[in-house]
Amino acid sequence: MECLRIEPLEPPLSRLALGTLGFSPSTRDRDYAVLDAWVEAGGSIIDTAHVYEDGDAERLLGLWLRDRPGVRERIVIVTKGAHPDGARARVTPADIASDLSDSIERLGGPVDLYLLHRDDPAVDVGQLIDALDAHRRSGEIRAFGVSNWTLPRIEEANAHAAARGIAGICCNSPHLSLAVQNEPPWPDCQSATDAESRAWHARTGMPLLAWSAQAGGFFAGSGGESARVYQNAANQERRARAAALGDRTGHSANAVALAWVLAQPFPVIAVIGTHSVEHLRSSLDALDIELSAEEARWLNLEA
């Protein structure tokens, strides 16, 4: 599987990441099958979070790592903390430390890439960067980044890190898919589907870890929550164009849409969410699709 590098993480990162939302010890056999197939296919990055299934996603991943000797050295684990608890933002050094401690215990060891799940602009960004750097220096995490932060806030954070001569944010994780959201699926989410955000990433070269890269199954015809967030006339046209291009190349519309995410002019890792080996393998088809710049613009209604 094609890989890219984010310093200082090792091994090299696969262009796709396996998401674990919905994983749990209660579905152990199903989830073990997906995780095993992921590693066998060459996947090297797994994405989880402190809040997924009230911690059960991390617990399941920790069990799987324990039962698969030698696998841990072949993968990079991403987890996220400091998610809000109702009305309380929880983006503080104390909450970060508490969540990270839980995650390390569940996963059975240090975290490769630790992301703050949300931001609280009322908290001084320097406090957050100093706290994350302290966890990095202690060996609890190898690198850190953010999810659902605004770009000016990221710039402010990295300006603080540069002034202090310490590690800064190495990865940004907003939503990015071919489909543009009608509204965020959850409060305080950030999306990079707009041209300005994508231009910022192209200019800075900051790697982007894209959540909901498959638009919640929109390109596979899913309804329900996916329809609330993604159903609109422009996205229907994007789906029709992805299907048409897929028909010409022997791929699904879903794979073509995922290939569009990977075709950005900056480093992108796309998170895929699946609970079946069959769907996992169909998503991997995106890696066989090479979109030209003209095709990418056409898919996004830019030409």
| Diameter of the chain measured on Cα atoms | 53
Please, which residues have CB within 8 angstroms of residue 123's CB and are 6 or more apart in sequence?
A: 89, 91, 92
pTM (two decimals): 0.96
Please give the pLDDT value at position 202: 97
Check pLDDT > 80 for residue 225: no
- How much of the chain, in percent, has pLDDT values that exceed 90? 93
- What integer is the mean pLDDT of 31-36? 98
Please give the pLDDT value at position 227: 85
Long-range contacts of 81-90 (CB under 8 A, 24+ apart): 81/49, 81/50, 81/114, 81/115, 81/116, 81/117, 82/116, 82/117, 82/118, 83/49, 83/50, 83/51, 83/117, 83/118, 84/118, 84/187, 84/188, 89/118, 89/120, 89/122, 89/123, 90/118, 90/120
Please give the pLDDT value at position 91: 98
The C-alpha atoms of residue 193 and residue 175 are separated, in whole angstroms, by 7
Q: Which domains does the chain have, with CATH numbers?
A: 3-299 (3.20.20.100)
Check pLDDT > 90 for residue 1: no
79 φ/ψ angles, rounded to the nearest 5 degrees: -135, 165
Q: Mean pLDDT score of the chain, rounded to an integer?
A: 96
Please give the pLDDT value at position 289: 96
Q: What is the pLDDT of residues 243-267, one digit of tens each?
A: 999 999 999 999 999 999 999 999 9
Instruction: Give the three-state DSSP class for 18.
Output: strand
Please give the pLDDT value at position 11: 87
pLDDT band at 86 (very low <50, low <70, confident <90, very high): confident
Report residue 36 CA to chain centroid gap: 20
Q: What is the pLDDT of residues 46-60, one digit of tens each?
A: 999 999 999 999 999
